Amino acid sequence: MTELAAVKAALKSQAVETPSWAYGNSGTRFKVFAQPGVPRDPWEKLADAAKVHEFTGVAPTVALHIPWDKVDDYAALAKYAEERGVKLGAINSNTFQDDAYKLGSICHADPAVRRKALDHLLECVDIMDATGSRDLKLWFADGTNYPGQDDLRERQDRLAEGLSEVYRRLGENQRMLLEYKFFEPAFYSTDVPDWGTAYAHCLKLGEKAQVVVDTGHHAPGTNIEFIVATLLREGKLGGFDFNSRFYADDDLMVGAADPFQLFRIMYEVIRGGGFTPSVAFMLDQCHNIEAKIPAIIRSVMNVQEATAKALLVDREALDAAQRSGDVLEANAVIMDAYNTDVRPLLGSLREEMGLDPDPMAAYRRSGWAEKIVAERVGGQQAGWGA
Amino acid sequence: MTELAAVKAALKSQAVETPSWAYGNSGTRFKVFAQPGVPRDPWEKLADAAKVHEFTGVAPTVALHIPWDKVDDYAALAKYAEERGVKLGAINSNTFQDDAYKLGSICHADPAVRRKALDHLLECVDIMDATGSRDLKLWFADGTNYPGQDDLRERQDRLAEGLSEVYRRLGENQRMLLEYKFFEPAFYSTDVPDWGTAYAHCLKLGEKAQVVVDTGHHAPGTNIEFIVATLLREGKLGGFDFNSRFYADDDLMVGAADPFQLFRIMYEVIRGGGFTPSVAFMLDQCHNIEAKIPAIIRSVMNVQEATAKALLVDREALDAAQRSGDVLEANAVIMDAYNTDVRPLLGSLREEMGLDPDPMAAYRRSGWAEKIVAERVGGQQAGWGA
Amino acid sequence: MTELAAVKAALKSQAVETPSWAYGNSGTRFKVFAQPGVPRDPWEKLADAAKVHEFTGVAPTVALHIPWDKVDDYAALAKYAEERGVKLGAINSNTFQDDAYKLGSICHADPAVRRKALDHLLECVDIMDATGSRDLKLWFADGTNYPGQDDLRERQDRLAEGLSEVYRRLGENQRMLLEYKFFEPAFYSTDVPDWGTAYAHCLKLGEKAQVVVDTGHHAPGTNIEFIVATLLREGKLGGFDFNSRFYADDDLMVGAADPFQLFRIMYEVIRGGGFTPSVAFMLDQCHNIEAKIPAIIRSVMNVQEATAKALLVDREALDAAQRSGDVLEANAVIMDAYNTDVRPLLGSLREEMGLDPDPMAAYRRSGWAEKIVAERVGGQQAGWGA
Amino acid sequence: MTELAAVKAALKSQAVETPSWAYGNSGTRFKVFAQPGVPRDPWEKLADAAKVHEFTGVAPTVALHIPWDKVDDYAALAKYAEERGVKLGAINSNTFQDDAYKLGSICHADPAVRRKALDHLLECVDIMDATGSRDLKLWFADGTNYPGQDDLRERQDRLAEGLSEVYRRLGENQRMLLEYKFFEPAFYSTDVPDWGTAYAHCLKLGEKAQVVVDTGHHAPGTNIEFIVATLLREGKLGGFDFNSRFYADDDLMVGAADPFQLFRIMYEVIRGGGFTPSVAFMLDQCHNIEAKIPAIIRSVMNVQEATAKALLVDREALDAAQRSGDVLEANAVIMDAYNTDVRPLLGSLREEMGLDPDPMAAYRRSGWAEKIVAERVGGQQAGWGA
C-alpha cells in the first residue's frame, strides 16, 4: 500500500461519534435561543444524526444522554437508528439537573443524595445493557462555590466510593470513561478538575476505567496534546469530547477556535497508537447560534481535516530532525503537514466512499433542513432541560 | 475629628446598591436551583432589599432590571420602597433575552434589531424619569462566537451610533454607565470587551458617559485596581458592579474569592478620590446555591470590611516609604492595614448607627427568612427569565 | 488587474522590519545559550539582517536598539546597511538595564532617575535624526512587584509628563510608538499594561503618538484582532511587534504558536485599512534555542503566509454572509481562505521578484551560516546585555 | 492542653526551610539588579540564613543548590551552619545552566547529555550523603519551544528511565522530591508540567519519590489547595516550594500576592495531616528588587500567619456547617479564622520562644544589614549563574 493509500485507508476507518444533545437547543445562562426544526425527542435526534453520517460517512454512532434521551424501548430505538444507518454509542449520565444535586451528587455530604446519584448511574449501565453501548461517560458537575463549603478531601473519598460501586456493576465489555473539567458549574473547587485526578481514580478502579479528555475543560494555556500523549503512554486514554474554546468551556465547533491545536492533538493520538477503536472520538458541542446539523457536519469535517494533516506528517523526517536537535527543521516538518490543504484529498476520499465531496453542499441540497422545519411543528423542542 | 472618627464617618456615609435580581433565582446553563421564599415580583424584591439595608445600614438603594422589574406604576414602586427605607437606584437594561438578539442587539447587522434594542434603551430612560434614577447601566451581551461571523469594526460603528442616540436622550442629571466584559455569552469577540473600549466610547459621548467596572469581567490576572486608578485619573469611573470570581464571571459574593484584591481596589478608590456619590458602588452577584438575603448581607459587610481596611492605610507612612524606594516597608504599610481585624470597629460603628453589631445574626433572629418561605407560596418565582 | 494580481502586488509591497537584537543571543532568566557565529556588533547584525532581506525580499529595514546598537557614526552605519540592501528602521529605547532603573525609569519616584531616563529617550530622537528613522518605539519595563510599593496614579502622572517631553522633541516626520505589556519584568503592576492605557496617553499627546501592539503582551485569551480593529478605527495603530506565545511573553517565532490568530490579525489589518506604511510591521522575537537567521527568515515567511491568506478572503461573500446572519457561511468564508495552501503562490511570487521560491533552502545553500561561524571568532557576542 | 496552647505548640514546632539562592542576586531576563552586601559564597549565604532563623525561630534549615553551593568540604559547611544555629537541608540539582542542556537534560534526545545530567543528579546524592540531607529536590527545565521540536512521549520514557536510576541510588532515609512546572523556560511543552505527571512518575518509582508543590508553578486559576488535599490523600505530598505570583512564576514573597490562597493551602495541609516533618516547607523566591534578608524574614512570617489562621479554624463548627449543607455558615467559619489578626498571637509566641515579637524590627536593629554591606566588598556576588 502506498503511503497516500494508507492515509486514505486510515481516514476511511475514522469514526466520530455525535452527541444527541447537540441536535437540540442549548445556550448560556443568559438565554437559550430556540431554532426551528429542532428535534423534540430522541427519535428525531437520531434521524438528524443519521443525516450527518449520510453526508460525511464517518459519524456512525450517536451518544445518548440520560435522562434527556430516555425511552421506554431501547431496542426499538437502536433498531430505529440502525434503519437510518447509525448505531447507539456512549451513554452519558446526568447528575446535575435534579434539585437534589444543588451541592453535588456522588460527592454530596448527604448519603441519600449520593445514593440517588448512584442509582442513576447504575440505571445508565442497565441502559447500556439494553443498547449494547460500550462506554459510560461520567461527567460530574460536583464541586463547591466557596472556600470551606465542603471538605475537599472527604468529597474525594465519596467520589472514590461511588465510582467503585459503578465500576463493579460494569459488564465484561463495558467501560467507564471519567471526564475532568477545570471549572463550571462549580466556581471554587471541582471534584474532578484535571486529568491527574481522573487518572488517579481510574488507576485504582482498574482497566475498564479510562480518562476522557474534553478539549474545552482545561486551564488557559494548558498543553492538551501533552496530556493526550501522557494518557496514551499510561494506557489510560479512553476517548475525547471534542469542541473548541477561546475562553472557558465555550463548546464551539471543534477546530473553530484553534485548528492548529486540534492538529497537534490528532498527531499525538496517531503517534501514541491511539487511532484505534479503543479511543472514542466524540463531539460534545453547543450550537447556540448556528444551525445545528450543518455545524455538526462542519465539526466532523474539521476532525477529518486535522486527522488527515496529522497522518501526513513525515514521521521519518521528523524523527531525523528531532534526533539531530534541528529545532527549526523538526518544527518545519510538522508545519509542512499542517499547512497542506487536505480538502482535495478528503474530497476524493469521499468520492471513493460514494459520497458527495462537499458534505455541506450536499446536505443543503438534500432539503432536510426545510423538511424538519416544516414537519417538526408543535411539541416541546429538546434541550438540556428535557 | 480624630483619624478613627474620620474613618467611622466615612464608613457611615458608605452606600452599597443591591441589585433586585440577586434576590431572585439564578444559576448556570446547567441548572437553576430554585429557593423557597424567593420573590415573585419587584415589590417582594424590594421588601427583601429593605431587610438588607435594615440590618447593614449601608444599602439604601436598589437597582432595577428592565424588563424583569417592569411595573405599571413606578411612582408606586418608589413609594413602596421608601416606605421600607430604601430607594430605587440604577436602571439596568436587557438586550439579550429577546429572540431577536441572537446575533446581537445594538451591534446587530440588521437595522430593525438595532432599532428594537434602542427603543428598549430609550424606554429605560423613560423609566429613569419616572423613578428618579440617576444611572442607566448598560451591559451588552453583543459579540460573536466564530471568526468571520460579523465585521468587528462595523459592530463598533453601530455601537457608537446607538450609544450616541441614547446619550442624547439623557436628562440633565442622568448618566450612562457603560460596562465592559471579557467574554460570555459571546465566545469569540465581545463588542465591549475591556475598559479601553468602554473608555474610548465614553470619551466621545461626553461627561455623562462613564465606565462601570464589574470586578468579574476581566481576563485572568488583570490588575483591576490599576484600571480603577486609571479611570479615576481620567475622570471616567462611574461605578462598580461588585462580585468575585476564581475563573470566569463566577458572580460569587464580593470579597469571597480574593478579599485582598477587594481591599486593593477600595484603596485605589479612596486614594483616587472615588469614595464619593459620583461613583456608584453596586453589587451584581448570583447566589446560585446559597441563601440569597444573607449572602447579600455578607457581601455588603465584605465591602465594608475592605473599605475600613483601605481607610486605615497610613497614607503618610506609605508615602514616605514609597518616596524613599523602600519596597518592603511600603508593602508592609499596606499589609498592616489589610491584616487588621476591622470587625470590632464595624461592630461598634453599627452600634453607633443604632444597628445590631452582627447583621447576619440579627437577620437570622428577625424571622424574615421563615416568614417569606411561609408566605410566598404559589406564583412564579423571579429569575433571570422573568 | 485581476484579483490574484492584486494579491501578489500587495504581497510584493509588504515590508517586515527585523530587529537587530534578534540576531544576537537571548535567553531566559535561567540561561542564555550562546550560538556560534552570532554578531558581535551592530555592523554584523546588519550584515545578517541583509541576508534575511536578500532571501525573502520583504525585510528591507532593521530596527535598532539603543544602547545595544550605539555606534559613533550613524551615517556610516546607515551607509553600511544600504550597501547591503537594507535600511535602518525604528529606534528602540532601553530604560531597563541601568542600575538606576531598579524601581522604574520615567515613572520612578525619584526625579533624578526620571531625568536620566528622559535624557536617554531624547538621545534616541537625536539618533533618529542621524539615521533618518521615522519611529521611536517606547517600551517601558516600569512597574511594581508588590502592592503598595509605589503610587499607581502618580506613576501615571510621571509617565504622562515624561512622554509629553519626548513628544515635543519629535521632528515633523517622526513618530512615537508606545508599547503596552501585560506583565514582566514587573509582577504586580505595569505602568502601561494594556492598549487602553497606551491609547489614553497617545490620545492626549497627539497625532504623532501611536500605539504599538506586541502580539505577546496580552492576558490569556485576549482577542488581539479586536484590539487591532479598534485601534485602526481610532486612527491609533502605529505598528506591530510580532512574535508568538503559548503562555506569557514567550517571544517565539511569529505564527509558530497560533497561526490562525496571526491570520485573523492580518485580516483585520487589511480590512481596517492598516496594510500601509503608516503601520509598521516589526518582528520582536527571541531565538533562544533555534538558529537565528533561519528563524527570522521563517518568521518573515510566516507573516507573508498569513497576509496572503488574509488577502485571499472573499470579502464580498463574507459581507453577504454576515449581512444575512449566516454564521456558518461567514465563518466558512474566512476558513476557506485560511485553509488555502498559499505556499505555491508565495513561491511563484518570489520567482517573479527574482528570488528563490524557497528562502530557507536558498539561505542554507548560501554558505552564510558556515561563513559567520568561521569568521566571527573572538570578541564579545551581542546579546541583551551589550 | 487548651486549644490555644495546642495552636501555639504547633506554631512553635513549625520549620520553614530557606533557600541559599534567595540570599544571592536574582532577576529577570531583562536585568539582574545587584544588591550591596549580598553573599559571595555558600558560607556567607548560611550566615545570612542563620540571621533569619535567629529572629524568627522557625527557619532552622537551609536548602543548597548544586553547583551554586558546591564546596570542597561539606562537613565543614555543615559544621559552620550548625555553629550559627542552622542545619543544611534539601539538595537542589541544576540541569539547566550547562551549555549541553539547551534542548533538555535527562529528557534530551542525545544519550550523552542524559548521562551528563544523570551524573550530576547522582553527584547530588553523594552530597546528600555528606551533608546528611534527606531530600533531593528535582526540578527540570526540560521541555520544548516549538511543536514538533522533539517527541513528547519519548521524552517521558527518557525521564522515567533517568528518574529510576536516581531513585535506585537513594539511601534508606533519603527521598526524591519531584517538582512540576507549568511553563518556563520551555514555552511549548514542559516535561513535568503538572502534578499529574509528577504523581504518575512518583507512583511508579516508589515510596521515596514524592511530589513537591511550587505555589507559583500552575496555570492561571488553578485551585492549588485541591492539589494539596489530593496529594496528601494519595500519600504523595513531599513538600512545598513557597512563593507567590500574580501572573506566571513571579517568585514573589509567599503570601504577598494572595494571602487568602496561602491560608487555604495551609488549611488543607493541616486538615490532611500534612503538618508534619514528612512534608517539607521550603521557600523558593527571588527578591529581585527588595532587600533579601528582610524579605525572607517577612516570608517566613507570612507562612506563620497563614498557618496560625489555619490552625484557628473551628473544625467542629466547620464540620457541622458542611454536613448540614449551610454554605454561608461553612464559608463564614473559614473566613472567621482568616479575618482574625494573628499578629498579637505570634508576637506573644515569639516572646515565649525568647525572641523579639517583631522580627523585622529586631533584624533592623541588629546592624547585620550594615555589617554585610561594609564587609562584603570585592569578590563575585552569588547569583543564579554561580
pLDDT tens profile C314-349: 999 999 999 999 999 999 999 999 999 999 999 999
Facing D221 at nearest CB: one of B220, B223, B260: B220
pLDDT tens digits, B294-310: 999 999 999 999 999 99
- CA–CA distance, B92 with B89 (Å, rounded to integer): 9
Measuring CA to CA, which residue among D199, D196, D204 is closest to residue D167? Answer: D204
pLDDT band of residue B1 (cuts 50, 70, 90) is: low
Phi and psi, residue A48, nearest 5°: -65, -45
What count of CB pairs under 8 Å joins A to C? Answer: 50
Q: What residues have CB less than 8 Å from C269, skipping those under 6 apart? A: C228, C232, C275, C279, C310
Helices C42-56 and C359-366, packing angle to 10 deg: 130
Which residue is closest to C262 within chain A, CA to CA?
A258
- The answer to whether the CB atoms of C220 and B223 lie below 8 A apart is no
D221 to B247: CB separation less than 8 angstroms, yes or no:
yes
- Are B145 and A102 a contacting pair at CB < 8 A? no
CB atoms within 10 A of CB D172: 5
In angstroms, the separation between the Cα of residue C339 and the nearest Cα of chain A is 6
Q: Number of Cβ pairs closer than 8 Å across B and D?
A: 50
Q: Which residues of chain B from 3 to 42 reach within 8 Å of chain A, CB to CB?
A: 26-31, 33-34
Q: Which positions ≥6 away from B266 have C-beta within 8 Å?
A: B303, B306, B307, B309, B310
Query: Do D31 and C29 contact (CB within 8 A), yes or no?
Result: no
Polymer length of chain A: 386
Residues of B in contact with D223 (CB under 8 A): 246
Query: Is the Cβ pair C289, D103 closer than 8 Å?
Result: yes
**What's the CA gap between A210 and A203, in Å, rounded?**
8
User: Which three cell numbers mark D314?
Assistant: 473551628
CA distance C31 to chain B (A): 26
Are A295 and C328 in contact (CB < 8 Å)? yes
Of B189, B221, B226, the CB nearest to C219: B221
SS3 D27: strand
Query: Nearest residue of B to residue D290 by CA position?
Result: B327
pLDDT digits (tens, 9 = 90+) for C223-278: 999 999 999 999 999 999 999 999 999 999 999 999 999 999 999 999 999 999 99
How far A102 CA sits from the closest chain B CA (Å)? 6
Per-residue confidence band for D2, with pLDDT thresholds at 50, 70 and 90: confident
Res A1: pLDDT? 65
With a cut of 90, say whether residue D23 has pLDDT above it: yes
Name residue B245's amino acid.
R
The band of C2, judged by pLDDT with boundaries at 50, 70 and 90, is confident
The per-residue pLDDT for range D338-383, each reduced to its tens digit, is 999 999 999 999 999 999 999 999 999 999 999 999 999 999 999 9
Name the residue in chain C with its Cα closest to that of A301: C332
Partners of C282 in beta bridges: C17, C241
Taking the Cβ of residue C103 and every Cβ of chain B, the question of whether any pair is shorter than 8 Å is answered with: yes
Q: Report which DSSP code applies to A172.
A: T
CB spacing of C295 vs A328 below 8 angstroms: yes
Residues of chain C neighbouring B211 (CB-CB closer than 8 A): none
Buried b (16+ CB within 10 A) or exposed e, A48-86: bbbbbbbbbbbbbbbbbbbebbebeebeebbebbeebeb
Distance CA D65, CA D21 (A): 7
Rounded Cα–Cα distance for residues A75 and A349 (Å):
34
Residue of B31, B35, B243, B260 to mutate, interface with A, max A Cβ within 10 Å: B31
Q: Which of D30, D65, D98 to mutate to probe the C interface, most C CBs <10 Å?
A: D30
Q: What share of chain B is helix, strand, coil (3-state, %, to 5)?
A: 50, 15, 40
Tell me whether residue D298 is exposed, middle or buried, using C-beta atoms within 10 angstroms of its C-beta: 0 to 12, 13 to 18, 19 or more.
Answer: buried
- This complex has an ipTM of 0.97
**Shortest CA gap A110–chain B (Å):** 16
One-letter identity of residue C180: Y
The predicted pLDDT at position B2 comes to 77
Chains that touch D (3 or more CB pairs under 8 A): A, B, C
Amino acid at A139: W
| Res B386 pLDDT > 50 | no
Mutate to test the interface with B, among C114, C153, C234 (most CBs of B within 10 A): C153
CB of B225 within 8 Å of any CB in chain C?
Answer: yes
Nearest to C260 among A259, A294, A340 (CB): A259
Mean pLDDT in residue range D98-104: 97
Question: What does the pLDDT profile of chain A (386 residues) look like in tens digits?
Answer: 678 999 999 999 999 999 999 999 999 999 999 999 999 999 999 999 999 999 999 999 999 999 999 999 999 999 999 999 999 999 999 999 999 999 999 999 999 999 999 999 999 999 999 999 999 999 999 999 999 999 999 999 999 999 999 999 999 999 999 999 999 999 999 999 999 999 999 999 999 999 999 999 999 999 999 999 999 999 999 999 999 999 999 999 999 999 999 999 999 999 999 999 999 999 999 999 999 999 999 999 999 999 999 999 999 999 999 999 999 999 999 999 999 999 999 999 999 999 999 999 999 999 999 999 999 999 999 999 74
Mutation target vs A (from D327, D328, D339; most A CBs, 10 A cutoff): D327
Which of these, D199, D219, D335, D180, lies nearest to D267 by C-alpha position? Answer: D335
Q: Provide Rg for chain B, Cα atoms.
A: 21
Which one of D31, D183, D252 has the shortest CB-CB distance to C187? D252
Reported pTM: 0.98
Chains with ≥3 Cβ pairs under 8 A against A?
B, C, D
Closest-CA residue to A46 (of A73, A24, A72): A24
**Cβ–Cβ contact B188 with A under 8 A:** yes
Kindly determine whether residue D327 and residue A145, on different chains, have CB atoms separated by under 8 Å: yes
- What pLDDT, on the 0 to 100 scale, is given for residue D346? 98
Residue in C29, C146, C252 closest to D187 by CB: C252
Mutate to test the interface with C, among D187, D218, D245, D285 (most CBs of C within 10 A): D187
Q: Cβ D250–C187 below 8 Å, yes or no?
A: yes
Distance between the two ends of chain B, CA-based, in angstroms? 49
Q: Where are the alpha helices (DSSP H) in chain B?
A: 3-13, 42-56, 74-83, 111-131, 152-169, 195-205, 224-233, 259-271, 292-312, 315-323, 327-338, 343-352, 359-366, 368-375
Task: Reduce the DSSP state of residue B172 to 3 states and report it.
Answer: coil
My answer on whether omega of the bond before C277 falls inside 30° of 0, hence cis, is no
Q: Is the Cβ–Cβ distance between B121 and B136 less than 8 Å? A: yes
Cβ–Cβ contact C148 with D under 8 A: no
- Give me the half-sphere count of Cα atoms (radius 13 Å) on the Cβ side of residue A330: 23
Q: How far apart are CA B190 and CA B204, in angstroms?
A: 20
Three cell numbers at C74? 550613524
Nearest chain A Cα distance for residue B326, angstroms: 34
| C-alpha C321, offset from chain centre | 34
Q: Residue C160 pLDDT more than 50? A: yes
Q: Take residue D360 and report the three cell numbers written for it.
A: 523585622
Q: Is the peptide bond before D344 cis (omega within 30 degrees of 0)?
A: no
In whole angstroms, give the CA distance from residue B28 to residue B31. 5
